[in-house]
């Protein structure tokens, strides 16, 4: 889905995030702004990046809706308030390409709150994933990027199954049992860091932790991966 928003040249990343939130009706604290091309993810933008001059007219910027990061008391409240609330946080609306600008907005009065970690539950992490087919050093993205919201302690097999489930519309019948292990590359940390099938708990790898902690204010902390 492509939308257009208008932000003054003197605006900020925070104001851009608010513009996207207003246009898509998605809470600003659930929006990740990232740069993505045919070879995968590049930069992510946080509200600490105050000046919009870091984004040029031809840059390919995507906005992703991430899950609402529930605390246990919030989950209980939502369940009691509505019997039809959907807590399946790996089925979200869409990622949005916002490379065009058109809709005027107002300056936000307060910055969006940062999500809190779950209390009393296994810690979870937001993953942005895109798939790449590689030949030597060259790789090209295929299919749509997607969001996963998983416990940090998941095993490699579980992580692979979650990724394949999101890709099932691209796979031939039986691919779930025929596919061999693949690697995951963590984007946004120094150098090229791969997560390998030998990792018992790949999302606890130090490179994932560094990527997660490097996220600035605005939008949820997350980790970007290419498979």
In this prediction, residue 136 carries a pLDDT of 64
Number of domains in the chain: 1
In this prediction, residue 94 carries a pLDDT of 42
In this prediction, residue 151 carries a pLDDT of 94
Residue 8's closest CA among 48, 50, 41, 46? Answer: 50
Q: How far apart are the first and last CA of the chain?
A: 23
In this prediction, residue 81 carries a pLDDT of 42
Contact predicate 145/63, CB 8 Å: no
Sign of CA dihedral 84, 96, 3, 24: positive
In this prediction, residue 148 carries a pLDDT of 92
> Domain containing 181: what range?
2-226
Length of the chain: 227
C-alpha–C-alpha distance, residues 226 and 133, integer Å: 10
Quote the distance between the C-alpha of residue 208 and its chain's center: 13
Contact predicate 5/20, CB 8 Å: yes
- Bridge-based pairing state of the strands 124-135 and 223-226: parallel
In this prediction, residue 73 carries a pLDDT of 41
Residue 156's closest CA among 186, 201, 188, 192? Answer: 201
In this prediction, residue 116 carries a pLDDT of 42
pLDDT tens for the chain, 227 residues long, are: 787 888 887 888 899 999 999 999 999 999 999 998 988 888 888 887 668 888 888 889 999 999 886 443 443 444 344 333 333 444 444 445 554 333 333 333 333 333 344 444 568 999 998 888 776 667 778 888 899 999 999 999 899 889 888 887 776 666 555 555 677 888 876 665 888 888 889 999 888 888 888 887 777 777 877 76
Question: What pTM, to 2 d.p., does this model score?
Answer: 0.68
In this prediction, residue 197 carries a pLDDT of 83
């Amino acid at each position: 889905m492509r939308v257009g928003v208008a932000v003054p040249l003197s605006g900020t990343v925070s104001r851009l995030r608010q513009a996207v939130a207003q246009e898509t009706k998605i809470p600003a604290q659930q929006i990740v702004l990232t740069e993505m091309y045919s070879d995968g993810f590049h930069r992510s933008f946080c509200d600490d990046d105050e000046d919009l001059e870091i984004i040029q007219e031809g840059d390919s910027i995507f906005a992703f809706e991430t899950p609402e990061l529930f605390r246990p008391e919030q989950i209980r409240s939502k369940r009691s308030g509505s019997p039809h609330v959907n807590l399946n946080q790996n089925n979200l609306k869409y990622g949005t390409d916002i490379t065009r600008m058109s809709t005027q907005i107002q300056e936000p009065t307060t910055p969006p709150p940062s999500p809190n970690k779950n209390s009393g539950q296994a810690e979870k992490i937001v993953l942005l994933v895109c798939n790449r087919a590689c030949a030597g050093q060259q790789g090209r993205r295929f299919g749509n990027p997607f969001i996963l919201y998983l416990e940090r302690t998941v095993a490699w097999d579980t992580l692979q199954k979650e990724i394949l489930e999101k890709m099932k519309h691209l796979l031939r019948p039986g691919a779930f049992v025929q596919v061999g292990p693949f690697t995951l590359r963590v984007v946004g940390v120094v150098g090229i860091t791969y997560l390998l099938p030998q990792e018992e708990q790949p999302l606890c790898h130090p490179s994932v932790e560094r990527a997660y902690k490097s996220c600035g204010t605005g939008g949820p902390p997350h980790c970007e991966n290419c498979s």
